[in-house]
Amino acid sequence: MAGVSVDEAMRRAIELAARGLGTTSPNPVVGCVLLDAGGQVVGEGFHAYAGGPHAEIVALAQAGERARGGTAVVTLEPCDHTGRTGPCSTALIQAGVARVVIAVPDPNPVASGGAATLRAAGIQVDLGVRTAEAEAGNIAWLTSMRRGWPYLIWKFAATLDGRSAAADGTSMWITSEAARIDVHALRGTVDAVIAGVGTVLADDPRLTARNLRDGSLAIRQPLRVVVDSAGRTPAGAQVRDGAARTWIATAAEVGAGPDGRVDLPALLAALHRRGVRAALLEGGPTLAGAFLAAGLVDKIVGYVAPRLLGAGPTALVDAGVTTIAEAIDLEFVDVTQVGPDLRITALPRKREG
């Protein structure tokens, strides 16, 4: 029976890693496939939740003695430190693997060094197999660890002519139930949901991840963050209920920018210190404009309904653009129909200079 190639094993490891999306933070998503000396799959694993066994440990437990002399294929460099679990580098050495293939080096200085430890033990270490795919699957964690603030996704819902509400202020519902279900799934993959105080005052949202079919809450709830420079969030607001943790981020606590409002880079840095690796920016065209103007948005997910209003508030206000030459250029990376609506995913292009 023919063995599995390292490339095929890495593709499978990336699929496995994705199963941990939304439950591993502040740890990364990681997948591992173990091949025996003949190239047969003898173990698979992924990191399922923070504090739980790492992908390599799960795969090694499956493989047992069959790992000896084999190859470990892993999406991220095996950790080299003792945290809530022991170092994976040591476990691989003790299991007697002959080769370790890594897609992406670990950017975390606390945990990195696994490749060097493995090589020092006489194990062959190869880097760079399906790196782009593995990076994409772990983009939020990798980005936040490399720069020190969360990967930020701006989500909005609008009509085809860009309106987020009608002229009389009504906005329930711009998009379909299918799109709203999709949004709740998206909330379930991030560590924090951010909204401006204006949205809280106008709509009184819950900002929780829920099952819209029965109203039940998801097991894991993102931190709710209200950007509220002057502390105007009412005591009875739904974001203050016990359904999830909430942080009312004021200028007095976070620090104020030149405009006297909450300093947004300082806010993101504070969220990173709280363990937030991915955040979803929801609610507030002015707040969204401020984040975009500051160049702090990493990805945009827009739900566009097949409707026209012709008047009413727009989904985005004052993003620092005054002339066409200053437009924020985007790269569309996905367009998918969700119910009657379109979900458009785009990445802001990096500006020169």
Give CA–CA dist 1/141, Å, rounded: 38
Q: Would the annotation count 290 as a binding residue?
A: yes
256-303 per-position pLDDT tens digit: 988 899 999 999 999 999 999 999 999 789 999 999 999 999 999 999
Mean pLDDT of the 157-163 span: 95
Q: Would the annotation count 36 as a binding residue?
A: no
Residue 122 per-residue DSSP state = T
Contacts of 133 (CB under 8 A, 6+ apart): 10, 11, 14, 103
pLDDT, position 49: 87
Sequential DSSP letters for 78-104? PP-S-SSS--HHHHHHHHT-SEEEEEE
pLDDT greater at residue 174 or residue 153:
153
Instruction: Check if the beta carbon of residue 176 is closer than 8 Å to that of residue 296.
Output: no
Q: Would the annotation count 223 as a binding residue?
A: no
**Tokens for 58?**
């799960």
pLDDT, position 351: 58
By annotation, the residues acting in catalysis are 56
Q: Would the annotation count 187 as a binding residue?
A: yes
Sketch out the chain's domains with CATH numbers.
Answer: 6-138 (3.40.140.10), 148-348 (3.40.430.10)
Classify residue 82 as exposed, middle or buried by CB count within 10 Å of its CB (0-12, 13-18, 19+).
Answer: exposed
Q: What does the mean pLDDT of the chain come to?
A: 92
Query: Could you give the residue ranges of the DSSP H alpha helices within 99-188?
Result: 114-120, 131-137, 139-147, 177-187
Q: Would the annotation count 32 as a binding residue?
A: no
pLDDT, position 3: 79
Q: Would the annotation count 131 as a binding residue?
A: no
Q: Would the annotation count 349 as a binding residue?
A: no
Contacts of 8 (CB under 8 A, 6+ apart): none
Mean pLDDT of the 78-102 span: 89
Closest to 92 (Cα-Cα) out of 111, 110, 108, 115:
115
Query: Model-level pTM greater than 0.85?
Result: yes
Residue 353 has pLDDT above 70, yes or no: no
Instruction: Check if the beta carbon of residue 115 is closer than 8 Å to that of residue 74.
Output: no
Give CA–CA dist 102/99, Å, rounded: 10
Q: How far is CA 205 from CA 4, 167, 236, in A?
A: 50, 20, 12
Q: How far is CA 202 from CA 112, 198, 238, 316, in A?
A: 46, 6, 12, 16
